[in-house]
Amino acid sequence: MSLRNRVALITGGSRGIGRGIAVRLAKDGVRIAIAYRSNKAAAQQALRELQALGVDCVAVETDITDAARAEQLLQTVVDRFGRLDILVNNVGDFRWGTLAESSIEDWQAIFNSNLSSVVYVSRAALPHMRKGRWGRIINLGAVGAERAFGQAKISAYAAAKAAVVALSRSLALEEAKNGITVNIVNPSSIDEKELSLEEARRIRDARFPIGRPPTVEDVAASVAFFASEEAEYVTGQVVNVSGGWML
């Protein structure tokens, strides 16, 4: 699945799933831009890891819940690399809370982070992808977007991620004629310690028929497929990286 010399922007790419996606795409020869909000130390560490793989990369500090700054981010990336081919919308804050106990500010923050950011960055990316008649947009959702799994305190987060799925499918229809695909990767919960594959294999959780929770590498593999040349005929699709949890 060669992607050599393509250019990718990964939002929230300094740590966690975003960082894992950046590393995986870098191994495929992709030039990488990561966007981060405030953790400069994590961003610099991510850059060092990417540079060790021999790829051209940059980190941009920004707040993509602001539409104007999202536009500036895309211009910065295109000024640096001359193009944009792949966009991974990975940013998405999480907060526990029922509808009754969540404040309006909580809801707005969750929707701004998980949904508005996808709208702002994707909208800014589209002209650059249309210019090249080629583009891959991969949005990170969550299995909670389709099933609550008995978790009674994720109403805002689940609603925002469900909206991301609906938005992605509509955008896939709108942009198919421009050579742009739009797909969704829904991970189930990943351990906050960012488990390695070996560590995860030692965990046995009855929720996962495969016998372990997903790792960042599992999620990144699905993103890499959607970003690939081989996925040209796949758009508007959801992949649940859940080890059978959705069955």
**Cα–Cα distances in angstroms (integers) from residue 138 to residues 165, 175, 191, 235, in the given order:** 11, 13, 22, 10
According to DSSP, the residues that pair with 183 across neighbouring strands are 138
Q: Which of 36, 120, 157, 233 is catalytic?
A: 157
**3-class secondary-structure state, position 195:** coil
Local structure of 153: helix, strand or coil = coil
**Which amino acid appears at position 155 of this protein?**
S
- Helix (H), strand (E), coil (C) string for 155-192: HHHHHHHHHHHHHHHHHHHHHHHHCEEEEEEEECCCCC
51-90 exposure pattern, b = at least 16 Cβ within 10 A, e = fewer: eeeebebbbbebbbbeeebbbebbebbbeebebbbbbbbb
Q: For residues 74 and 143, give the distance between their C-alpha atoms in angstroms, rounded to a whole number.
A: 29
Output the six-digit token pair for 4: 């050599």
Q: Is 233 a catalytic residue?
A: no
- Among 227, 210, 25, 34, which residue's Cα sits nearest to residue 137? 227
Give the catalytic positions in this structure: 157
